[in-house]
Chain A
């Protein structure tokens, strides 16, 4: 499939052909023939460049609305021939660039931005390339199955619906005080690094925050029905913010959304479980979704 750069090349081709015809001698024709031959050869190379590749992804990916969604992928070149200048795309937008793949598997992530809250299934990933001359674009499609959960953007000013006043703002930093080691969680940018598990970092693992809990934990029920707001998306944003606050504060929280409910819990899995539940709520109407 020709790209727009083809226009430049064809223009040059026409110009040199025109000059060759009016000149009439042997070498004057060579530029035109050289460009044309290179064009044909590059077409075959272009098509071969996106073949014999295999793309796999995780089954699920998640991110907040308004932020960039990263869909991690693994790209395997099944043949020894090097592949260059690949661009991975998804049907819901976003792209990732891979400069060069030898016979190996490389990992990367497709970044998709501008997605609204919801659940987006990605059923295929396109691998395309304009290599080597930029005048043809070839694309192969790779069936995958990846469910992307776009959580509501955590917004809203309402205080946590606590009966006992737990979760004061000062206490929000992280529940890193306490007696019992309660596991680790992802380090969030901007957080204090006091409780980072540096030993793990030294082992090459990502930065994690050591969490400690007091045995006595409060339970908070986050109820969608209790959130006041002009529309569903706003209410869900408030819910997402609460979930984040609770998680950071180390509180146990449960979710009541419409008919469904998630019993109180805590930790990374629970956190994502709750947010995923919010992501999966059908949009109220087309207009409110906009």
Chain B
């Protein structure tokens, strides 16, 4: 039977729905053109005003006109009506038209669920914590909309009872959401529908290192990656070298990552303590994977290439979470003759002064470590200055840097040092990456920013393998500019685990508060990315394995899912369940009695009292007349507080039941 229910749309419900649609469409502002969102919100407002003033909805022709204008707008903005974004716009247009004509309960509910849909689509464009919190909040509002409407609108709900009730519903659903999120096996379905994500900021390391490229990064406060140490063995600050790329083709001050270097550098043979890191990388275009020097292995779409470098095997479209194992020691991979030759190659046009300098060193010693010491001593003693703005060097600015201006940033020193060492016959390469990071005091992890970008040099030393040399360490601290990361990293008081950035001007406590809030928010975000965003099919399988579940067709998984489902259901049920009213014993027995008689063919009329019913019963069961009428008498007496006990009546009832059954049996046998 079709039930006509609440067919008028109460103003209060309509306000809830329009608010829900409004809030649900707001996150689409970012992926879609704002003109579309404005027009959509305009239609909502239109309907709201009409309703407020008690006016009629626009007629068919007006709606057709609105639809046509909408189509034109979409066609004009996107040049097409198909495709994901135009499709979303079309959906918004249809919703707007529906809003303008909505009159029935069915249309209201349809729009409410469409509102859920457009709200939830915003999660496919962005998964930041902020968006998720917003979507959750609007989700609750939309739930409240439906609850308010189906609950009899204003007649049924006041805000005071609606809000707690909706929250109760949602809170009761939460454990189930968690259960499904953690345990329900995910399906791999890549490529079904790829949303065009807006291109994210993609600064970072590039394929070649030019003078000045790092100074640019040093001004960039964007996050490069975050990292935490699950084994709680964060290395000391001075060991926090994050390796990104290796450059083995020397051009003086400019080094390039030659494709050949991946062949000349063999398989790594690493030493030193093992450190496991969880790295959450912001999207960047370089293809590098940042990891603690030197990475050994990693999960995810990552391959190990020569020079202990991890590179991404897929283009990086979104934040990538990896678990990387590194060893802090040297790389003792033996060097082939060909590799040694390639790694000592220098350009021929470097100049005579350099040649003379290196020759003067070579006359003193042939030992690579001693040679390195001599070169670094020169950086320290020879009035070299560490600065973010060294100015522009000429095409072959190597000698200009080394002998004239002596101004440079980390890449100048690393490049120059590497080149000098190569000229001295020591295999050298330049490494780009990051150094240090900012520890978050709330939970123990590091934020590494683009400003922490750094370059250093590696020398191959017989018997020790590849050894890291950071030339900027040897610059006289008095000649380090105050605005450089190096100056911040090594403050005068020696506290080098925390870098103080002054981003706000104001009272100290405000700065502290601001810093605290920033760190707190960052910590929550990091955990969100680490545990929620990165919880994909692969991490789910990893998690299953820790529980001893090897395949998704495991009975253990089934037990967990079903058990969890039933538990949640049980808890919710226990909450909504209402104990039935305890019925009076006399009534229970009387109902039994009536059922018994009904079974034997005598149905009590709905409006029949016991006296009238008794009369009929006696006529229908003449053989049992005495018993039946006595029982009726007892019931009536008992109801008014007189006569027999419940046990006695129950006994009589049983006796009658037996006799009637006997009679029936006799009747059927005859």
Q: Which residues of A contact B (CB under 8 A)?
A: 4-5, 8-9, 11-12, 15-16, 18-19, 21-31, 33-38, 40-42, 44-45, 47-48, 51-52, 59, 78-79, 81-82, 84-87, 89, 93, 95, 97-100, 121, 123, 128-134, 143-145, 147
Query: Which residue on chain A has the smallest CB distance to residue B4?
Result: A95
**Given A26-B532, A30-B177, CB of A121 within 8 Å of CB of B578:** no
Q: Are B581 and A21 in contact (CB under 8 A)?
A: no
**Given A78-B581, A123-B606, CB of A85 within 8 Å of CB of B156:** yes
Q: Is B547 an interface residue (CB 8 A)?
A: no
Q: Which residues of A contact B360 (CB under 8 A)?
A: none
B residues 188-222 with Cβ under 8 Å of A? 188-195
Q: Are B572 and A41 in contact (CB under 8 A)?
A: yes
User: Please, how many angstroms separate the alpha-carbon atoms of A123 and B605 in the complex?
Assistant: 9
Q: Are A22 and B189 in contact (CB under 8 A)?
A: yes
User: Please, how many angstroms separate the alpha-carbon atoms of A21 and B184 in the complex?
Assistant: 12
Contact indicator per residue, chain B 560-582, by CB within 8 Å of chain A (1) or not (0): 00000100110011001111110
Q: Is B225 an interface residue (CB 8 A)?
A: no
Q: Are A26 and B181 in contact (CB under 8 A)?
A: yes
Among candidates B146, B156, B534, residue contacting A100 with C-beta atoms closer than 8 Å: B156
A-B contact pairs, 6 of them (CB 8 A): A8-B113, A22-B189, A27-B533, A38-B143, A45-B576, A47-B576
Shortest CB-to-CB span from B395 to chain A, Å, is: 47
Q: Are A23 and B149 in contact (CB under 8 A)?
A: no
Q: Are A85 and B6 in contact (CB under 8 A)?
A: yes
Among candidates A5, A30, A99, residue contacting B132 with C-beta atoms closer than 8 Å: A30
Shortest CB-to-CB span from B124 to chain A, Å, is: 5
Among candidates B124, B150, B533, residue contacting A19 with C-beta atoms closer than 8 Å: B124
Query: Which residue on chain A has the smallest CB distance to residue B128?
Result: A27
Stretch from B165-173, B228-236, B483-491, B505-513 forming part of the interface with A:
B165-173
Q: Are A79 and B6 in contact (CB under 8 A)?
A: no
Q: Is B161 an interface residue (CB 8 A)?
A: yes
User: Please, how many angstroms separate the alpha-carbon atoms of A160 and B577 in the complex?
Assistant: 62
Q: Are A19 and B121 in contact (CB under 8 A)?
A: yes
Q: Are B576 and A44 in contact (CB under 8 A)?
A: yes
Q: Which residues of A contact B110 (CB under 8 A)?
A: 5, 8
User: Please, how many angstroms separate the alpha-carbon atoms of A40 and B191 in the complex?
Assistant: 30
User: Please, how many angstroms separate the alpha-carbon atoms of A33 and B132 in the complex?
Assistant: 14
Q: Is B536 an interface residue (CB 8 A)?
A: yes
Contact indicator per residue, chain B 450-482, by CB within 8 Å of chain A (1) or not (0): 000000000000000000000000000000000
Q: Are B5 and A130 in contact (CB under 8 A)?
A: yes
Q: Which residues of B contact A16 (CB under 8 A)?
A: 117, 120-121
Query: Which residue on chain A has the smallest CB distance to residue B176?
Result: A37
Q: Are B152 and A15 in contact (CB under 8 A)?
A: no
Q: Which residues of B contact A134 (CB under 8 A)?
A: 109, 112, 146, 149-150
**Given A26-B533, A143-B606, CB of A87 within 8 Å of CB of B150:** no
Among candidates B184, B194, B578, residue contacting A51 with C-beta atoms closer than 8 Å: B578
**Given A34-B139, A123-B606, CB of A5 within 8 Å of CB of B113:** yes
Query: Which residue on chain B has the smallest CB distance to residue A122?
Result: B606
Shortest CB-to-CB span from B643 to chain A, Å, is: 27
Q: Which residues of B contact A8 (CB under 8 A)?
A: 109-110, 112-114
Q: Is B127 an interface residue (CB 8 A)?
A: yes
Q: Are A99 and B177 in contact (CB under 8 A)?
A: no
Contacts A11-B113, A12-B114, A123-B606 given; 17 further ones with Cβ under 8 A?
A: A8-B114, A18-B193, A23-B193, A24-B186, A28-B123, A34-B173, A37-B173, A41-B169, A44-B576, A45-B572, A48-B577, A87-B5, A89-B1, A130-B5, A131-B151, A131-B152, A132-B169
User: Please, how many angstroms separate the alpha-carbon atoms of A83 and B112 in the complex?
Assistant: 22
Shortest CB-to-CB span from A130 to chain B, Å, is: 5
Q: Are A5 and B106 in contact (CB under 8 A)?
A: yes
Query: Which residue on chain A has the smallest CB distance to residue B565?
Result: A40
Query: Which residue on chain B has the smallest CB distance to residue A84?
Result: B151
Q: Are B3 and A87 in contact (CB under 8 A)?
A: yes
Among candidates B127, B176, B569, B580, residue contacting A52 with C-beta atoms closer than 8 Å: B580
Shortest CB-to-CB span from A118 to chain B, Å, is: 17
**Given A22-B193, A36-B180, CB of A131 within 8 Å of CB of B150:** yes
Shortest CB-to-CB span from A273 to chain B, Å, is: 18
Which of B3, B184, B576 neighbours the largest number of chain A CB atoms within 10 Å of its CB? B3
Among candidates A5, A25, A86, A145, residue contacting B605 with C-beta atoms closer than 8 Å: A145
Shortest CB-to-CB span from A86 to chain B, Å, is: 8
Shortest CB-to-CB span from A26 to chain B, Å, is: 4
Among candidates B113, B169, B579, residue contacting A45 with C-beta atoms closer than 8 Å: B169
Q: Which residues of B contact A45 (CB under 8 A)?
A: 169, 572, 576
Q: Are A22 and B177 in contact (CB under 8 A)?
A: no
Among candidates B109, B152, B606, residue contacting A99 with C-beta atoms closer than 8 Å: B152
Q: Is B318 an interface residue (CB 8 A)?
A: yes
Q: Which residues of A contact B420 (CB under 8 A)?
A: none
User: Please, how many angstroms separate the alpha-carbon atoms of A147 and B124 in the complex?
Assistant: 59
Q: Which residues of A contact B180 (CB under 8 A)?
A: 29, 33, 36-37
User: Please, how many angstroms separate the alpha-carbon atoms of A56 and B49 in the complex?
Assistant: 43
User: Please, how many angstroms separate the alpha-carbon atoms of A15 and B184 in the complex?
Assistant: 18
Q: Are B152 and A84 in contact (CB under 8 A)?
A: yes
Shortest CB-to-CB span from B112 to chain A, Å, is: 8
User: Please, how many angstroms separate the alpha-carbon atoms of A86 and B123 in the complex?
Assistant: 35
User: Please, how many angstroms separate the alpha-carbon atoms of A24 and B192 in the complex?
Assistant: 10
Q: Is B386 an interface residue (CB 8 A)?
A: no
Among candidates A19, A33, A87, residue contacting B184 with C-beta atoms closer than 8 Å: A33
Q: Which residues of B contact A86 (CB under 8 A)?
A: 152
Shortest CB-to-CB span from B164 to chain A, Å, is: 11
Shortest CB-to-CB span from B308 to chain A, Å, is: 29
Q: Are A132 and B151 in contact (CB under 8 A)?
A: yes
User: Please, how many angstroms separate the alpha-carbon atoms of A18 and B190 in the complex?
Assistant: 11
User: Please, how many angstroms separate the alpha-carbon atoms of A57 and B124 in the complex?
Assistant: 54
Among candidates B147, B149, B187, B534, residue contacting A21 with C-beta atoms closer than 8 Å: B187
Q: Is B584 an interface residue (CB 8 A)?
A: no
